[in-house]
Structures are given as structure tokens and as C-alpha cells.
Amino acid sequence: MKNPYEWLASAINNHTWVVAGVAAAIFIVACFGLSMVTMETGDDSYIDKTTPRGALLDHYTETYGSDAIMLIYEADSVQSTEILRYIDHLQEDLRNERYVDEVSGVVDLLKQANGGTLPSSKAEIDAIIGQAPPEIVERMLPSDLMTISVISLEPGVSLEAQQQVLGNIESAISISEPPPGLAVTVSGNPAFSKEMGEAMGTQMGMLILAAMLLMVFAVMLLFSHVRYSLLPVGIVAVGLIMTFGFMGLFGIPVSMTVIASFPVLIGIGIDYAIQFHARFDEEIRQSTIPEAVRATVTQMGPSILIAMTATALGFIAMFFAPVPMVADFGSVCTIGVISCYVAALIIVPVVAIITRYRSKTEAGASGPAPEPRNSVIERYDRLLGRLAYTVAKHPLPVILLFAVVAAGGFHLDQSVPISADEKTFVPDDMPALLDMEKLTRTMGATSTIPVVVTADDVRSLETLAWIEQFGVYEQEHNDKITGVTSIVTLIRENNDGALPSTEREVDNVIARIPEATLKRYLNGNMEAVLEFSTVDMEMSVARDLIGRIQGDVAWNNPPAGVTVRVTGQMEMFAALMDDISESRVYMTMLGFAFILGFLLLVYRKFGAVSPVIPIVFIVGWNGAIMYLLGLDYTPLTAVLGSMTIGVASEYTILIMERCEEELARGTEFLDAIQTAVQKIGTAITVSGLTTVFGFSALTLSTFNIISNFGIVTVITVGFSLVGAIVIMPAVLALMYRYTGHSRVPAVAGITE
């Protein structure tokens, strides 16, 4: 039975236009998915809603959670009667908006103290404000230059509905004709999410464009010795469009981490295209086009398939990450490398046949094209060959030196900090972020820590007493907690400050509480919520606070049958720090296990571990670089280990494959290593440098999480080249010296 690569080579040679038509049809199908691609921000990017923690957060958000949109009014004097009348009219208009639960501001305080109407003079306004509780005035009217209105949305409003409300509010403000000198700014979490989504869309377009331009520059600089040197860029563009299309068809959304995958795919995809193109150009120098097509497809196809599969396995390890955006990153990268591989495998030989490809050095004479003499590429070939030969003759010192450096890197990696604060991921000068920081300085922390209490009857006197006792305990024993609101505080407020002594009295008091207020803290008879307000703090401090509250729950011994669980966004981001810490190690180990198992399955001998050994060193070097550059582990840099395994394995596998090919021709072992590195080393250097150009586009991002990832990935590709060109020959030499050598068995049905 003819193996698939033999069959494909024959099909391309004999039915070129049919193959081109089938490929075009697949491309068109993928294009249909482009319109189905969506952007994703918010909790769904950080937590899996099918897990217990995710399900609890989703339930809390749907049942109690109510995001607030803030309106910041700034003027020379916001206490002027003209401005206050404007604010009052605007608030009345906004109360009629769908999904708006409540609108409050300083005008409500003034009207409540003045019989339901706004005061008509500055003196009356000053008198009312002077008698109001200072803590309320400080939050609503921090100075004469600024005041704030709070628009509370109904519980469980979806992100799409929040964006709709936000758009309606912005429209209402734009047509409301504010008094001269008054600036009205929309802020809050919904506004932050909206602007972040818009910025992500802009970033994605900018990064892809920058990566493609850098690819054009790199290919023209490093790959100009072949004809149609820009063909790999076109192949990558096709692969990228197919990736977008399949994302839409499979329902994979674009998040902060997924944006970073596109320059990564451009960098890796250009590698496949260059490898096929370089091999074809090498073959065409000494054979006809059909023979070159057959040699390229049958020799490079399986080799790059193995390398691509190893790369994909590194990305597949990310599927098991607990953070959805990391799993999506792995999914997109897996789809992308497969798309780029298939595009390169088909397009290079098809274009060569259609254009009647000739070597660039061919001067029109018949017969094989002459090799260039004393070119930069030829000199670099010889340099790599001599280096590989020397390393292979003295492998042990090389291995020991790089192993010591890697061991130091693994040690330093334990000291790299972890960051899980969403506000540190976005551009520092993003207007929505600056507005949020202004709100925090003015009003204090706007986020709370919700604690969900579940029981057969949360209205029972015993459960209510425990809720009150726990709320008081947390305030007295934790200086980060500034207050608590619960069903108990509502009952006291509506019962002259006292807690009822009978359950009938409890029911009577609860009946007097407005439904809109009650439903924010009580869900039927079986569930209630405590909301702890806190000071503004770093996420690492918040993680410690969350852990302490969870410990205090057990310490305060809830009544029998009562379940108490901490939830909310702060708990989600605090847990994200633990997820990053655990998952980065887990994904790296899983990536190693996948690739090692794959190589042993394919080659069925101990020598198959050879490509993995340099990668272990590279992962260690990554830890040292993260520490020395002062970078943090984020949801994106957490994938560095498994991504390194995927990227570096391609280079090391291609070196080993070419070495085996030379040995199969009867070449002596040291000469086989020299030839393999000389032939493949140049190609992977060119493709590696072009990959660096693609990855370097990430450093141009204004999103800190993406630019930092770009820095370390650029360095990682450099490490991967060193691992393949320097360490891999030493590893192959040691394997040969201590295990003996017999040719690696051909992959069944592929290479034979």
C-alpha cells in the first residue's frame, strides 16, 4: 500500500489543478467562520463555570451580583444649583433604562432632606451637606470639584446586556446638553470591560499586521537566496485565515491570551513554510521539478509532521489548564500549527509546478544548478558543520556546562512572582483604568467579598445569630475589612436596631424590607449572602485575606446543616494565582510526558528521548531569564514551559531526523551529525530568526501581559536554536557512544 505522502506527491505531480481546487475549497469553508469569531472579557476568561467554584460564582452573579456603572461629574463647583438640576434630570432619565435597578447620588441626599425637592440656594445646599453623615458625603461628594452617581444594575444581567445599558447611558449623556464647564465620565467594571474589549480588537489587528510586516522584512533579509522568497509569508497568511475561520466554526472566542497566539502562529508557521521551501530549492538544484516535489513531500512531509505533532502536543497540554483563556490559547495554537503545516505541504509544491520553479542560482543552462561559492549562507553552513563536529567529539563538557546553568534556572524559577490582577494586564494609560483608579481613590475599593450561607432555613434565629456573629468577628479581627452588609444588618435597620427574638417577628420585619433591597442578600428561605467591604489592596494581600476568611469560617463553627462558601471576583482572582502556580508546572510536565510518549511510540527505541533532553535545559534557562528580567508569571507566561517544549522539539527532532537520513545512506556517525546540522541548522536558523521576528511583534503590544510574554518568547526561540545546534549534537553523540547505534526504525506507513 502506497504511503500517504507518496500518494500526495503523485497527486500533486499528476493532478496539480485538482489538488489546488480541493485546497481552495477547504480554504473557502474556513473563511465562512471568520464572521463567527467573538471577543471575550469578564469572568468566563478566568474561571471554568462547570467547576464547583465556577458554578458558585456564576450562581452568585446570576442571583445577587449587581455591577454598578459610575458617572463622575467634574466642574469648578459641582454644588451649583444648575449642575445639581442637570444631575437630577439625568438620573431620572437613567432610572427608566432597562436593566437599571437603582440610581443614587448626592441629589437624592439633598432631596430627601428637603421634602423631596432640590434646594434652590447654595446656602440650603451647604446646610444639608453639613448635617449629613460624613462617610456618605465623602463617598458621594469628595470635593466641590467632583461628585459621583451610582447606577446599580439588576442582579444577573449578562455582559451583553451591560454593554447595551452602557451604550444607552453614553447616548443619554451625549444628548443631555451638560452645563458649560461640566465633564461627565462613565466608569465602573462594565465600562472597563467594554474598553478592554475594544482595545483587544485593535491590538489583535495591530499585532498581526506588525508580525506580518516583520516576517516580510525577515524573509527578504534571511531567505533571499531562493526564488519567490516571500512565498512563505503568503503561506502563513493562508494558515492564519484558516485558523480564524476554524475558531469561529468551533466557537473559540478571542481573549487577551488568544490575541498573543497569532504572532506565535505566524512565527511557527513561517518555519514550516521555510523548511518545505528550502528543501525544495535544495532538491531542484540537482533534479527535475517532479522529482523535487516527490523528494520534498516524501522526505520533509513526515519529518515536519513529527515535529509539528510534537509542537501540537506541547500546546495540547494547555487544554488541561484550569484557566479557560489558557486552554483557548492552546486550542488556537494547535489549530494554527496544523493549518500552517497543511498549507505549506500543499502550496509549496503546487506553486512550484504552476510557476515552473527554477533555482535562483540557475543561469538557464541545462543540468543541475551550481552551488553558490563563498556566500554568507555557505560560510555559515561550514561554521555550523565544524561546530557540530567539535561538539560531537567532546559531548560531555558541553552537556555538563549547560546542565549546571539549567539547574540554576530551575532554582531561580521558584522565586518568580505570580500576578493575577486584571488591571495590571491592560495598558497603564487606558482611560477606563485611569477612571477606575480615580474612583478607588475617591470612594475606596468598590469590590466586595461575598460569603454565601446555605441552610434548610437561613431565617432561623440560630442561623441569623451566627451570620451576625461572623460578620462582627471578621470586622473586629481583620483590619482589611471595613464593613459588612447582610440580611441581619437589613433586619436591624428595619427593626429599630434590634434583632427579633422570634421567627414570627423575623418574618414581619423581612416583609417590610423593599423587595429590590432584600433580593440582594436573601434567596428564599435556604440561602443568604454576607457582603464584606474591604480596603483597596494588592492581589497577593487579597489572596491571604480570602484564605483567612475561609479559615475563620471553620473556626467560628457554623450551626449543623449550614454551609458557608466564599465567592466573588476577588476570590476568583486570588484563586487564579494558585491556578497559575500549579498549572504552569502541571502543563510543563504534561507536555514532556506527551512528547516523550509520542517519540517512543514513533521510534520505538530508547534513543527517541534525545530531542527531549535539550528541551529540559531550555525550560530551566527560561526560569532564570524570568527571574533576571524581573517578570511575573501571568495566565499567559504560565504557558511558557509547555510552549517551549512544542517550539524547541521541532528543531531538535528535525536535526535527529536528518542525522538518521544521512546514516541510512551509509555516512559515518560524526559526519552524519555534521551534515545534519550543516543542512538543517542553516534552515532552522533562518526559520528561527524569522520566528523571532514574528514573536517580537508581541513586544509592541500596549497590553503588559502580552508584551512581557513577547520578551520571554523571543529569548526562548533563541534558546531553542542553541539547544538544537549545540546541545543536540552532544546528546546524539552520547546516545551513540553509550547505547550503540542502529538506524531508527522508520515510522510505519510514513517514511518507508
Question: 68-91: per-residue pLDDT in tens?
Answer: 888 888 888 888 888 888 988 898
What are the DSSP calls for 105-168, one per residue?
-HHHHHHHTTTTS--SSHHHHHHHHHHS-HHHHHHH-SBTTEEEEEEEEPTT--HHHHHHHHHH
Which of these, 724, 715, 689, lies nearest to 614 by C-alpha position? 724
Contacts of 371-376 spanning 24+ positions with Cβ under 8 A? 371/285, 372/225, 375/225
**All cell numbers assigned to 678:** 550543516
What pLDDT does residue 21 have?
92
What pLDDT does residue 438 have?
75
- Domain 4-43+223-423+575-739 belongs in CATH node 1.10.260.40: no
Amino acid at 379: R
Helix (H) or strand (E) holding 626: helix 612-628
Q: What are φ and ψ of residue 195, in 5° steps?
A: -65, -35
Distance separating alpha carbons of residues 698 and 203, to the nearest angstrom: 10
3-state secondary structure 397-451: HHHHHHHHHHHHHHHHHCCCCECCCHHHCCCCCCHHHHHHHHHHHHHCCCCEEEE
In a 13 Å sphere around the CA of 316, the CA atoms on its Cβ side amount to 13
Distance separating alpha carbons of residues 687 and 739, to the nearest angstrom: 32
Same CATH topology for 4-43+223-423+575-739 and 67-194? no
What are the DSSP calls for 257-268, one per residue?
HHHHHHHHHHHH
3-state secondary structure of 533: strand
Q: What are φ and ψ of residue 53, in 5° steps?
A: -65, -45
**All cell numbers assigned to 594:** 506527551
What's the pTM value of the predicted model, to 2 decimals?
Answer: 0.75
- Are 545 and 453 within 8 A, CB to CB? no
What pLDDT does residue 745 have?
41
Low-confidence residues of the chain: pLDDT under 50: 1, 363-373, 742-752
Distance separating alpha carbons of residues 232 and 215, to the nearest angstrom: 9
Q: Which residues of 717-737 are buried (b: 16+ CB within 10 A; e: fewer)?
A: bbbbbbbbbbbbbbbbbbbbe
Q: Which fold has domain 67-194?
A: Alpha-Beta Plaits (3.30.70)
3-state secondary structure of 222: helix
Strands 146-153 and 183-188: unpaired
Interval 125-169: pLDDT, tens: 888 888 777 777 777 787 788 888 888 888 777 777 888 888 888
Distance separating alpha carbons of residues 746 and 600, to the nearest angstrom: 12
Note the Cα 720 to chain centre separation in Å: 22
Which residue ranges make up each domain of the chain? 4-43+223-423+575-739, 67-194, 456-561
- 3-class SS shares of the chain: helix, strand, coil, % to 5: 70, 10, 25
What are the DSSP calls for 167-210, one per residue?
HHHHHHHHTS-PPTT-EEEEEEHHHHHHHHHHHHHHHHHHHHHH
Contacts of 135-140 spanning 24+ positions with Cβ under 8 A? 136/109, 137/106, 137/109, 139/442, 139/443, 139/444, 140/105, 140/106, 140/109
Distance separating alpha carbons of residues 686 and 271, to the nearest angstrom: 8
Contacts of 362-365 spanning 24+ positions with Cβ under 8 A? 362/285
**All cell numbers assigned to 693:** 521576528
Distance separating alpha carbons of residues 120 and 128, to the nearest angstrom: 12
